[in-house]
Amino acid sequence: MQDKIQHLAELWIGYKIRLIERVGLSNDAMHVHGSLLILFVSAVVLRRRPDSLWCWLIVLVAELFNEYADLRGEAPGEASLDASLHDLYNTMFWPTIILVLGRFLFPRVKLKAKHASPQSSELAHQPLEQATTT
């Protein structure tokens, strides 16, 4: 299992280096953009709001795997604990802000069914004819 994870980490680092070269953004910018992309794609796939804890956890797992690959020494200049903590901060900052503020500014509202039949207790005060036509 460890060999498969190591091989996957090596493949990821090669892809990441080529992506940074082609896009032309800094490593920090790639972390910020990548985290938001993963957050919103996971929200669509999971059919959840972006402020869902599940979406946030997916970003965290992806970032921890990325830092694992970096710390294995495959990425140039990224194999230090300081660099990993810096990347973790850059990656998780906006998803964490979305998680926290989304829950306070846009609380979840439970929706009632539009055409739900009334409860029998609500019909108790109506005559029989009105209650059956409702």
Q: What would the pLDDT profile of 43-87 be if each residue is shown by its tens digit?
A: 999 999 999 999 999 999 999 988 888 887 666 667 778 888 999
Q: What's CA 83's distance to the chain center, in Å? A: 22
pTM of the predicted protein model: 0.72
Torsion, CA 50, CA 32, CA 93, CA 9, rounded to 10: 90
> Tokens 């970096």 identify what position?
70
Given the structure tokens 């795997």, which residue do they identify? 65
CA distance 5 to 22: 26
Compute the half-sphere exposure of residue 110: CA atoms within 13 Å on the CB side of its CA: 1
Q: Residue 54 gets which letter from DSSP?
A: H
